[in-house]
Structure 1
Amino acid sequence: MLKLTYTEGSFNLECLTLSLEEWVTQRVILALRIGQPLHFEPSTASFLLPVDLLGVERLKIEVQRNDGEIIVLSTCDAEYLEVTLRGSWLSDGEDDAVGVFVTTMSDRTEFFLNKLWNEAQADAAVKSAEC
Protein backbone atom coordinates (compact mmCIF):
# COMPACT_ATOMS: atom_id res chain seq x y z
CA MET A 1 0.00 0.00 0.00
CA LEU A 2 1.18 3.53 -0.73
CA LYS A 3 0.46 6.32 1.72
CA LEU A 4 0.86 9.93 0.62
CA THR A 5 0.77 12.41 3.49
CA TYR A 6 -0.05 16.01 2.66
CA THR A 7 0.67 18.74 5.22
CA GLU A 8 0.46 22.51 4.86
CA GLY A 9 4.01 22.75 3.55
CA SER A 10 5.08 19.33 2.40
CA PHE A 11 4.23 15.96 0.93
CA ASN A 12 5.60 12.54 1.83
CA LEU A 13 5.20 9.15 0.15
CA GLU A 14 5.60 5.87 2.04
CA CYS A 15 5.27 2.24 1.07
CA LEU A 16 3.54 0.29 3.87
CA THR A 17 3.29 -3.46 4.33
CA LEU A 18 -0.23 -3.26 5.80
CA SER A 19 -3.15 -3.93 3.52
CA LEU A 20 -5.37 -0.98 2.69
CA GLU A 21 -8.18 -2.51 4.75
CA GLU A 22 -5.95 -3.02 7.81
CA TRP A 23 -4.61 0.52 7.67
CA VAL A 24 -8.05 2.11 7.23
CA THR A 25 -9.43 0.01 10.10
CA GLN A 26 -6.60 1.16 12.38
CA ARG A 27 -7.11 4.78 11.32
CA VAL A 28 -10.87 4.64 11.97
CA ILE A 29 -10.33 3.07 15.41
CA LEU A 30 -7.76 5.77 16.27
CA ALA A 31 -10.15 8.55 15.18
CA LEU A 32 -12.94 7.03 17.29
CA ARG A 33 -10.74 6.70 20.36
CA ILE A 34 -9.43 10.27 20.25
CA GLY A 35 -12.70 11.81 19.11
CA GLN A 36 -11.31 13.15 15.84
CA PRO A 37 -13.62 13.62 12.87
CA LEU A 38 -12.69 11.54 9.85
CA HIS A 39 -13.65 12.32 6.27
CA PHE A 40 -13.09 9.49 3.78
CA GLU A 41 -13.76 9.61 0.01
CA PRO A 42 -12.56 8.18 -3.31
CA SER A 43 -10.11 10.58 -4.93
CA THR A 44 -6.96 11.03 -6.99
CA ALA A 45 -3.54 12.38 -6.08
CA SER A 46 -0.79 13.65 -8.38
CA PHE A 47 2.88 14.46 -8.05
CA LEU A 48 5.86 14.97 -10.34
CA LEU A 49 8.91 12.81 -10.96
CA PRO A 50 11.97 13.81 -12.99
CA VAL A 51 11.98 11.86 -16.28
CA ASP A 52 15.75 11.29 -16.11
CA LEU A 53 15.61 9.01 -13.05
CA LEU A 54 16.85 5.49 -13.67
CA GLY A 55 13.87 3.19 -13.52
CA VAL A 56 11.24 5.53 -14.98
CA GLU A 57 11.00 3.43 -18.15
CA ARG A 58 10.64 0.26 -16.09
CA LEU A 59 7.89 1.93 -14.05
CA LYS A 60 6.06 2.72 -17.29
CA ILE A 61 6.22 -0.95 -18.31
CA GLU A 62 4.95 -2.13 -14.91
CA VAL A 63 2.06 0.33 -15.03
CA GLN A 64 1.03 -0.85 -18.51
CA ARG A 65 1.34 -4.48 -17.50
CA ASN A 66 -0.40 -4.42 -14.12
CA ASP A 67 -1.82 -1.16 -12.84
CA GLY A 68 -3.20 0.98 -15.67
CA GLU A 69 -6.54 1.41 -13.92
CA ILE A 70 -4.90 2.78 -10.74
CA ILE A 71 -1.96 4.83 -11.98
CA VAL A 72 -1.60 7.14 -14.97
CA LEU A 73 1.77 8.50 -16.11
CA SER A 74 1.70 11.67 -18.21
CA THR A 75 4.58 13.64 -19.67
CA CYS A 76 4.45 17.24 -18.40
CA ASP A 77 7.48 18.61 -20.22
CA ALA A 78 11.04 17.61 -21.09
CA GLU A 79 11.97 17.34 -17.39
CA TYR A 80 8.97 15.93 -15.52
CA LEU A 81 6.48 13.10 -15.55
CA GLU A 82 3.15 13.51 -13.73
CA VAL A 83 2.05 10.51 -11.68
CA THR A 84 -1.69 10.38 -10.98
CA LEU A 85 -3.04 7.75 -8.59
CA ARG A 86 -6.59 6.59 -7.89
CA GLY A 87 -7.35 5.78 -4.27
CA SER A 88 -8.90 7.23 -1.14
CA TRP A 89 -8.49 10.57 0.65
CA LEU A 90 -8.71 10.75 4.45
CA SER A 91 -8.83 14.03 6.33
CA ASP A 92 -10.44 15.59 9.37
CA GLY A 93 -12.77 17.47 7.04
CA GLU A 94 -11.57 20.91 8.20
CA ASP A 95 -8.87 21.53 5.62
CA ASP A 96 -9.11 19.50 2.42
CA ALA A 97 -5.47 20.25 1.54
CA VAL A 98 -4.16 18.45 4.64
CA GLY A 99 -4.66 14.72 4.95
CA VAL A 100 -3.63 11.29 3.82
CA PHE A 101 -4.13 9.64 0.44
CA VAL A 102 -3.89 5.84 0.28
CA THR A 103 -3.90 3.45 -2.64
CA THR A 104 -2.92 -0.08 -3.44
CA MET A 105 -1.50 -1.63 -6.59
CA SER A 106 0.90 -4.41 -7.46
CA ASP A 107 3.79 -4.74 -5.02
CA ARG A 108 6.28 -4.29 -7.85
CA THR A 109 4.77 -1.00 -9.02
CA GLU A 110 4.51 0.28 -5.44
CA PHE A 111 8.18 -0.56 -4.91
CA PHE A 112 9.33 1.18 -8.10
CA LEU A 113 7.22 4.25 -7.45
CA ASN A 114 8.45 4.56 -3.87
CA LYS A 115 12.06 4.03 -4.97
CA LEU A 116 11.82 6.67 -7.69
CA TRP A 117 10.15 9.18 -5.36
CA ASN A 118 12.90 8.68 -2.74
CA GLU A 119 15.60 9.13 -5.40
CA ALA A 120 13.91 12.32 -6.62
CA GLN A 121 13.86 13.67 -3.05
CA ALA A 122 17.54 12.83 -2.56
CA ASP A 123 18.46 14.50 -5.88
CA ALA A 124 16.46 17.60 -4.95
CA ALA A 125 18.22 17.80 -1.58
CA VAL A 126 21.64 17.59 -3.25
CA LYS A 127 20.73 20.28 -5.80
CA SER A 128 19.36 22.49 -3.01
CA ALA A 129 22.58 22.10 -0.98
CA GLU A 130 24.66 23.06 -4.04
CA CYS A 131 22.86 26.39 -4.44
Structure 2
Amino acid sequence: MAVQRRNTRQRAMVLEAVRNHDDHPTADDIYLDIRRIDSKISRGTVYRNLNLLEETGQISTVRTEGGCRFDWRVDGHAHLICRRCGCVADVALPYRPEIDTDLQERSGFTDVTHATLFRGICPGCQARALPTEGAQTGA
Protein backbone atom coordinates (compact mmCIF):
# COMPACT_ATOMS: atom_id res chain seq x y z
CA MET A 1 0.00 0.00 0.00
CA ALA A 2 1.46 3.33 -1.06
CA VAL A 3 1.91 6.03 1.55
CA GLN A 4 -0.21 9.05 0.76
CA ARG A 5 1.73 12.25 1.32
CA ARG A 6 0.20 15.67 1.36
CA ASN A 7 1.72 18.46 -0.67
CA THR A 8 3.20 21.06 1.58
CA ARG A 9 4.17 24.66 1.02
CA GLN A 10 7.78 23.74 1.83
CA ARG A 11 7.84 20.94 -0.75
CA ALA A 12 6.39 23.28 -3.37
CA MET A 13 9.11 25.82 -2.57
CA VAL A 14 11.84 23.16 -2.87
CA LEU A 15 10.48 21.95 -6.21
CA GLU A 16 10.24 25.52 -7.53
CA ALA A 17 13.81 26.23 -6.41
CA VAL A 18 15.11 23.16 -8.28
CA ARG A 19 13.13 24.16 -11.39
CA ASN A 20 14.69 27.64 -11.27
CA HIS A 21 18.16 26.16 -11.83
CA ASP A 22 19.76 24.83 -15.00
CA ASP A 23 23.08 24.21 -13.23
CA HIS A 24 22.18 21.11 -11.19
CA PRO A 25 22.26 22.70 -7.72
CA THR A 26 23.38 21.03 -4.52
CA ALA A 27 21.04 20.66 -1.55
CA ASP A 28 22.84 23.60 0.07
CA ASP A 29 22.23 25.76 -3.03
CA ILE A 30 18.52 24.99 -2.79
CA TYR A 31 18.51 25.62 0.97
CA LEU A 32 20.16 29.04 0.52
CA ASP A 33 17.70 29.97 -2.27
CA ILE A 34 14.71 29.11 -0.08
CA ARG A 35 16.15 30.85 3.00
CA ARG A 36 15.97 34.11 1.04
CA ILE A 37 12.20 33.60 0.82
CA ASP A 38 11.50 31.83 4.13
CA SER A 39 14.04 32.41 6.89
CA LYS A 40 12.33 29.82 9.12
CA ILE A 41 12.80 26.78 6.85
CA SER A 42 15.36 24.30 8.16
CA ARG A 43 18.10 22.53 6.29
CA GLY A 44 16.54 19.20 7.33
CA THR A 45 13.20 20.18 5.79
CA VAL A 46 14.89 21.02 2.50
CA TYR A 47 16.89 17.77 2.47
CA ARG A 48 13.83 15.65 3.35
CA ASN A 49 11.77 17.28 0.62
CA LEU A 50 14.53 16.87 -1.98
CA ASN A 51 14.66 13.16 -1.17
CA LEU A 52 10.88 12.84 -1.33
CA LEU A 53 10.72 14.71 -4.65
CA GLU A 54 13.30 12.30 -6.06
CA GLU A 55 11.46 9.25 -4.68
CA THR A 56 8.22 10.41 -6.31
CA GLY A 57 9.94 11.08 -9.66
CA GLN A 58 9.40 14.84 -9.67
CA ILE A 59 13.14 15.58 -9.81
CA SER A 60 16.22 13.48 -10.47
CA THR A 61 19.58 13.25 -8.75
CA VAL A 62 23.02 13.23 -10.31
CA ARG A 63 25.47 11.52 -7.97
CA THR A 64 28.98 12.93 -8.30
CA GLU A 65 32.18 12.56 -6.29
CA GLY A 66 31.37 15.92 -4.70
CA GLY A 67 27.88 14.84 -3.60
CA CYS A 68 24.36 14.85 -4.98
CA ARG A 69 23.22 17.43 -7.48
CA PHE A 70 19.56 17.91 -8.34
CA ASP A 71 17.92 18.16 -11.74
CA TRP A 72 14.41 19.24 -12.70
CA ARG A 73 14.65 17.04 -15.78
CA VAL A 74 13.41 13.53 -15.15
CA ASP A 75 13.66 12.24 -18.70
CA GLY A 76 16.54 9.93 -19.58
CA HIS A 77 19.52 12.09 -20.47
CA ALA A 78 23.28 12.12 -19.95
CA HIS A 79 25.40 14.51 -17.91
CA LEU A 80 28.87 15.96 -18.34
CA ILE A 81 30.83 16.68 -15.16
CA CYS A 82 33.92 18.89 -14.93
CA ARG A 83 36.82 17.08 -13.28
CA ARG A 84 38.17 20.36 -11.90
CA CYS A 85 35.26 22.44 -10.59
CA GLY A 86 32.54 19.78 -10.46
CA CYS A 87 29.97 21.66 -12.53
CA VAL A 88 27.31 19.46 -14.12
CA ALA A 89 25.77 20.02 -17.56
CA ASP A 90 23.09 18.19 -19.51
CA VAL A 91 24.24 16.41 -22.66
CA ALA A 92 22.07 16.36 -25.78
CA LEU A 93 22.35 12.63 -26.41
CA PRO A 94 19.29 10.41 -26.75
CA TYR A 95 18.59 7.88 -24.02
CA ARG A 96 19.16 4.36 -25.37
CA PRO A 97 16.55 2.04 -23.79
CA GLU A 98 17.86 -0.88 -25.87
CA ILE A 99 20.94 -0.90 -23.62
CA ASP A 100 18.66 -1.51 -20.64
CA THR A 101 16.79 -4.29 -22.42
CA ASP A 102 20.00 -5.98 -23.59
CA LEU A 103 21.55 -5.88 -20.13
CA GLN A 104 18.33 -7.12 -18.55
CA GLU A 105 18.27 -10.13 -20.90
CA ARG A 106 21.95 -10.92 -20.32
CA SER A 107 21.99 -10.47 -16.55
CA GLY A 108 18.65 -11.74 -15.33
CA PHE A 109 18.08 -8.43 -13.53
CA THR A 110 14.71 -6.73 -13.95
CA ASP A 111 13.68 -3.08 -14.21
CA VAL A 112 17.13 -2.10 -15.55
CA THR A 113 17.85 1.56 -16.29
CA HIS A 114 21.09 3.42 -16.79
CA ALA A 115 22.56 6.85 -16.20
CA THR A 116 25.38 8.10 -18.38
CA LEU A 117 28.03 10.40 -16.90
CA PHE A 118 30.82 11.85 -18.97
CA ARG A 119 33.77 13.66 -17.45
CA GLY A 120 35.91 16.41 -18.91
CA ILE A 121 37.20 19.93 -18.30
CA CYS A 122 34.59 22.67 -18.69
CA PRO A 123 35.22 25.81 -20.79
CA GLY A 124 35.49 27.97 -17.65
CA CYS A 125 38.26 25.83 -16.16
CA GLN A 126 40.01 25.70 -19.52
CA ALA A 127 39.97 29.50 -19.70
CA ARG A 128 41.34 29.81 -16.15
CA ALA A 129 44.20 27.46 -17.06
CA LEU A 130 45.31 29.58 -20.03
CA PRO A 131 48.24 31.93 -19.43
CA THR A 132 47.22 35.57 -19.30
CA GLU A 133 48.04 37.85 -22.21
CA GLY A 134 51.52 39.24 -22.03
CA ALA A 135 52.72 36.59 -19.56
CA GLN A 136 56.15 35.17 -20.21
CA THR A 137 56.20 31.57 -21.40
CA GLY A 138 59.69 30.87 -20.15
CA ALA A 139 61.19 30.42 -23.62
Q: TM-score range by the shorter chain?
A: under 0.3
Superposition TM-score, scaled by structure 1 size: 0.22
| Higher RCO, 1 vs 2 (CA within 8 Å, ≥6 residues apart) | 1
Larger Rg: 2
**Given the two structures, how large is their TM-score scaled by the length of structure 2?**
0.22
Higher strand share: 1
